[in-house]
Amino acid sequence: MCVKRVWVWLMAVTLAAGCESSEQSGTAYGDIAAPEMELTYLDGTITKLSDLEGQVVLLNFWATWCPPCLEELPHFESLHQAYRDKGLAVVGVSMDQAGAEYVRDFARQVSITYPVAMGAFEKMEKIWAPLTEIPTVHGFGSEPPALANGTVQMMPTTFVIDRSGMIYRKHVGPRDRQTLEPELRMLMGIDEPLAQVH
């Protein structure tokens, strides 16, 4: 009974927080810097997120066991192919526990050519969850952005980071090229019509 009451209370707090955040939709970006994190890619290369400054970064937390994550992969690969020479860095962070070799084989099977690093839920939570007031598109629809923290417990979660290393937006749930492309092009400073680059 106590557990049920605690659960109901937590749900009420969550809903209240969500309603409060919704009132702040459209908050200007650029106030929250992306945290420093080490990236160990599937080929063994080790780098830092800050090494990507100067590029627009599409940082996608995903897993091979997550069907919505798999829906996104062709779209991220398409964006990588279209804009890798125009200032976009697409980086996947696999939250799989199966290990790098398994993820590397999977990435090869689904034709992912952008870099993929290995991650872990607890480690990522320590790095990202303390961040607050990040403009976030929540759920699996197209709701306007509301403020949320940086938690990465739900897959997929994607951060769009500008050239100076500031978080532009957090996306929770699957996204496609059509949804992400306008904001990425804006951050890259590309003005020509989309028809000219497809």
Q: What is the CATH number of the domain that holds 69?
A: 3.40.30.10
Range among 7-21, 26-40, 98-112 with highest mean pLDDT value: 98-112
> Is residue 110, in this structure, part of any structural domain at all?
yes
Can you tell me the distance from the alpha carbon of 171 to that of 142, in angstroms, rounded to the nearest whole number?
Answer: 10
Q: What is the pLDDT of residue 191?
A: 83
Q: Which residue has the higher pLDDT, 30 or 35?
A: 35
Non-local CB neighbours of 166 within 8 Å, separated by 6+ positions:
29, 30, 31, 32, 33, 34
Name the domain count of the chain. 1
> Is residue 165, in this structure, part of any structural domain at all?
yes
> Which pTM value belongs to this model?
0.80
> Is residue 8, in this structure, part of any structural domain at all?
no
Q: What is the pLDDT of residue 132?
A: 81
Secondary structure (3-state) at 166: strand
Structural contact between residues 154 and 172, judged by C-beta atoms closer than 8 angstroms: yes
> Is residue 7, in this structure, part of any structural domain at all?
no
- Mean pLDDT, the chain, whole residue set: 81
Confidence of residue 43 (pLDDT cuts 50, 70, 90): very high
Q: Provide, rounded to the nearest whole percent, the portion of the chain with pLDDT above 70.
A: 78
- Phi and psi for 40 in degrees, rounded to 5? -105, 105
Q: What is the pLDDT of residue 154?
A: 83
> Is residue 43, in this structure, part of any structural domain at all?
yes
Structural domain span for residue 78: 26-189
> Is residue 170, in this structure, part of any structural domain at all?
yes
pLDDT surpassing 80 at residue 7? no
